[in-house]
């Protein structure tokens, strides 16, 4: 595929926020795109599956007033190349390490959304020397539960349905249906959570992502990425088995109460397995809380950065934690929550 001009392009900005630059680096022969802005302590923003760095547009400029903010397009996404390559979470973590090395950044606060949350946890496990803080936003990797649509798309043959959504008129029709459902009330006696308007909370962002998959290469990379983490049974990868390694790492977990992609109750499960993490629920928000309420998100990130002490990697502590293994008795929560966490851990060990 053709290489873009090496000249930097600039995103539009509001007021006097720092300029957000779109830049490229070729690493291991693959072109990688990333947005970067600001000066100060580094924050790495990792987007979700099928998405790209523009998903952070409403927050990156404001955060860049105080920090160096790097928002990459993961390999296979956005303006990064889309080769026939390894799209596992560990490969994505490797790619983020390589990009930071090229940029000369050795310490970073990692913010990961959805798939990017799973990549962020994997990055902390593989490259703990880089990580000072961790923020997970509706992350993948808690239990197998995930949107039935994603499970279906992972089945061979079904992905071609997505291609049909690229036909003229298909997406405008879906947007019109979404607008109608957003105004619809539930039937008498129907639980509020099942009202149509609550089942399509994320439809605008999901249609935005689907629109980007009209490109053949983007579509193939999306399917390879999806099948690395999801099958017909649900999410196939969990981070709970290594969550104990973050015991000294400042952490925050953010979720939207009306997430239609990964259930919001995963926030409770993650909080049980990560008792040192602060959990924040965005009431009424969906799978993209940083887009539903960007100002609250920006405030939380700044507060998180200012009120927590950046962790310095301690090899002795890492050795001690890994040697001792998970301390299940340190998990918090009621019996039902803990049972779900233990089931998720047991499911990870299953070969079925």
Q: Which residues are catalytic?
A: 114, 259, 287
Q: Do residues 46 and 117 make contact, with C-beta atoms less than 8 angstroms apart? A: yes
State the Cα–Cα distance between residues 296 and 282, nearest whole angstrom: 9
State the Cα–Cα distance between residues 158 and 338, nearest whole angstrom: 35
262: closest CA among 146, 142, 102, 108?
146
Supply the DSSP string of 20-54, one letter for each residue. Answer: -EEEEEEETTEEEEEEEE--SSEEEEE--TT--GG
Please name the residues in contact with 174: beta carbons below 8 A apart, sequence gap of 6 or more: 165, 203, 207
Integer-rounded Cα Rg, in Å, for the chain is: 20
Q: What 8-state DSSP symbol labels residue 128?
A: G
* Number of neighbours of residue 109 by Cβ within 10 angstroms: 23
If residue 46 lies in a helix (H) or strand (E), which one and from where to where?
Answer: strand 42-46
Identify any residues that bridge with 72 across adjacent strands, giving them in sequence order.
34
CA 245 from centroid of its chain's CA atoms: 20
How far is the CA of 268 from the CAs of 80, 134, 264, in angstroms?
34, 17, 8
How far is the CA of 124 from the CAs of 57, 108, 135, 339, in angstroms?
25, 10, 11, 26
How many DSSP H helices and E strands does the chain contain? 14, 11
Task: Supply 20's token pair.
Answer: 């957000």
Cα angle vertex 263, ends 92, 79, to 5°? Answer: 30
């Amino acid at each position: 595929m053709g290489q873009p001009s090496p000249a930097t392009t600039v995103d539009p900005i509001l007021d006097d926020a720092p300029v957000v630059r779109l830049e490229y680096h070729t690493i291991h022969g693959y072109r990688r795109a990333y947005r970067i802005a600001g000066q100060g302590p580094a924050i790495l923003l990792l987007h979700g599956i099928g998405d790209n760095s523009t998903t952070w547009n409403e927050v990156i400029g404001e955060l860049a007033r105080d920090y160096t903010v790097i928002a990459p397009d993961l390999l296979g996404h956005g303006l990064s190349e889309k080769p026939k390559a390894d799209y596992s979470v560990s490969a994505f973590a490797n790619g983020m390490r390589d990009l930071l090395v090229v940029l000369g950044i050795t310490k970073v606060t990692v913010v990961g959304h959805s798939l990017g949350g799973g990549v962020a946890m994997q990055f902390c496990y593989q490259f703990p020397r880089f990580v000072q803080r961790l923020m997970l936003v509706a992350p993948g990797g808690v239990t197998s539960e995930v949107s039935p649509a994603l499970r279906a798309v992972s089945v061979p043959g079904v992905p071609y349905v997505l291609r049909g959504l690229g036909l003229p008129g298909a997406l405008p029709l879906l947007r019109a249906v979404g607008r109608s459902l957003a105004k619809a009330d539930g039937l008498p006696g129907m639980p509020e959570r099942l009202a149509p308007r609550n089942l399509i909370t994320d439809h605008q962002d999901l249609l935005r992502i689907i629109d980007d998959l009209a490109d053949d290469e983007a579509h193939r990379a999306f399917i390879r990425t999806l099948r690395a983490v999801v099958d017909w049974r649900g999410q196939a990868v969990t981070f709970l088995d290594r969550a104990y390694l973050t015991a000294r790492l400042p952490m925050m977990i953010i979720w939207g109460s009306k997430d239609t992609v990964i259930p919001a109750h995963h926030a409770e499960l993650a909080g049980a397995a990560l008792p040192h993490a602060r959990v924040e629920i965005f009431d009424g928000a969906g799978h993209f809380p940083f887009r539903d309420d960007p100002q609250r998100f920006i405030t939380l990130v700044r507060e998180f950065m200012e009120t927590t002490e950046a962790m310095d990697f301690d090899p002795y502590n890492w050795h001690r934690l890994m040697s001792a293994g998970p301390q299940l008795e340190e998990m918090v929560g009621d019996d039902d929550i803990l049972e779900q966490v233990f089931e998720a851990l047991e499911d990870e060990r299953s070969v079925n």
